[in-house]
Amino acid sequence: MATGQLFSKTTQALFYNFKQLPIQRMLDFDFLCGRETPSVAGIINPGSEGFQKLFFGQEEIAIPVHSAIEAACAAHPTADVFINFASFRSAAASSMAALKQPTIRVVAIIAEGVPESDTKQLIAYARANNKVVIGPATVGGIQAGAFKIGDTAGTIDNIIQCKLYRPGSVGFVSKSGGMSNELYNSIARVTDGIYEGIAIGGDVFPGSTLSDHVLRFNNIPQIKMMVVLGELGGRDEYSLVEALKQGKINKPVVAWVSGTCARLFKSEVQFGHAGAKSGGELESAQAKNEALREAGAVVPTSYEAFEGAIKETFDKLVEEGKTTPVKEITPPQIPEDLNSAIKSGKVRAPTHIISTISDDRGEEPTYAGVPMSSIVEQGLGVGDVISLLWFKRSLPRYCTRFIEICIMLCADHGPCVSGAHNTIVTARAGKDLVSSLVSGLLTIGPRFGGAIDDAARYFKDAYDRGLTPYEFVESMKKKGIRVPGIGHRIKRGDNRDKRVELLQEFSRANFPSVKYMEYAVEVETYTLTKANNLVLNVDGAIGSLFLDLLAGSGMFTKQEIDEIVGIGYLNGLFVLARSIGLIGHTFDQKRLKQPLYRHPWEDVLYTK
């Protein structure tokens, strides 16, 4: 066991098993104390590597994350404290691995319930190698104004109230972490505060004992008196009794062993800690308090008188000139986290994203205000989901059915079209699904699948302005613009596109009005007089019929219809549909284990 001070203002730790709150509390304490460097040098998170962003005062810093204890110790040789937040199942193994590292001097084990046989092995190894184990079942420890372990002393408000941002003159050791906070507060009220405080943990076999730390405190010049809080159960306090009797401690010790109420119960009582269970008269709180009193410690008559005894002892040291109370300082203001400041109403901050189509904050996600479960329970389909997420309203069933038909008819058009070809080539190059899909989608534009919006835009403008098909087509010709939605490489006037016929058949049977589609057919009739391949294609059919859907449903204003066409909603329908086919082509090439594609040179015209 070390004989002097464990921590200083330059102490750094490695934190095992990432927990954001205790690490951030350590860094906030660092800033409060005026440390120049963060006390957490690195984080060990098995299976993870990289960096973790946290705050050091106003500054955001990146703390390295390592996947193994050995790697972390090698990367941070000056970090000599290992703070172990592993569960009780793995705490012993990871703690032993840390103790075996030459750079690690102190190991704090937070977990409760570590097997006693494992703890005994840790204790034996630590004592044989002059290392310190704090815990298991501990909150940790603190050196005021210098360093703290994890959640020791609680919130920043409590730390400030207990004056732990600067060193005092009192050394404190306890079994209980929760009672440590209470005593830090009591000691700050009646003395100049804590110099160092340790909670050894409440398990039956703590890694270090009350007397270990009191003897350490006795060797630290800045500590002028010690306060000890024990509890019933075990015989740890008797090692302190022996040290007092043997004259190993020459500073005042104020002590209290809690659990005196146990005698009020007829049967044996197990208190909160595993070790807080009286196994006989010697382990009772009364017997321990009496032994400490007889050995020379200041022991009050009750816990209520504990604070008064601490005050009386400290005041006597001041009167005798053995200590001078530390002068008070004003700690810096810790910047408040934005989330907590917003929650408390102290600040308001602008949002970075606006969403009107979905909400995932409640018990289940909603699409345009409709719970996801309701969509399933009502037997709605993909078209209904699209109507909610794209149009922010529940469209009539004929509308959502039309959307689904469009998706089915446009899902694929064979391997030779540009989008499928690109996807196939990319998949055969060994690329992943997303890369193959995107390579195909990037070909969608004015020449391939991207004419739906333009067809809708031009047909709507011409119809709304009352242009005859002749006037419309000839005006487009004068502008040098091909009529979107008209023309096909394969289909002819006597060999119509079956997809167009299916869409027209469905719309005539279900839509209240098909005025835009009928106008597109009139335009087709005129263009066929010019060339037999200038037929209404699927882009023109979908574009004109979507205008009829939007106008005929009575659920959209003229301004909304113009906005929908302008934004590119209709091309979005083709993108969504064709993604199904492109994904299929990717899987097809992967399944067939096709090799890298190389275009045949016979299919290239080489020319000067």
Can you tell me which residue has the tokens 């040291």?
A: 317
3-state secondary structure 43-72: EECCCCCEEEEEEECCEEEEEEEECCHHHH
Which residue type does 437 have?
L
Residue 100 exposed, middle or buried by CB count within 10 Å (0-12, 13-18, 19+): middle
How does strand 50-56 pair with strand 40-44?
unpaired
Residue among 597, 578, 581 at smallest CA distance from 445: 578
* Residue with token string 């038909």: 405
Cβ distance 422 to 440 under 8 Å? yes
Kindly tell me the sign of the dihedral angle through the C-alpha atoms of 487, 489, 491, 493: positive
Active-site annotation holds for 273: yes
Cα radius of gyration rounded to whole Å, the chain: 39
Query: Which tokens in the block code for residue 334?
Result: 């810790």
- The Cα–Cα gap between 389 and 358 comes to 7
Rounded Cα distance, 167 and 34, in Å: 12
DSSP 186-219: HHHHHSS-EEEEEE--SSSS-SS-HHHHHHHHHT
Interatomic CA distance for residues 37 and 43, integer angstroms: 15
- The catalytic position among 273, 352, 421, 488 is 273
CB atoms within 10 A of CB 411: 16
Length of the chain: 608
Helices (H), 219-337: 236-245, 285-295, 306-319
Cβ atoms of residues 452 and 570 within 8 Å: yes
CA distance 83 to 131: 14
> CA dihedral in degrees (256, 261, 267, 273; nearest 10)?
-50
Contact 469, 522 (CB under 8 A): yes
Beta partners for 172? Answer: 197, 227
Q: Taking Cα atoms as reference points, which of 501, 486, 478, 467 lies closest to residue 531?
A: 486
Which residues carry out catalysis?
273
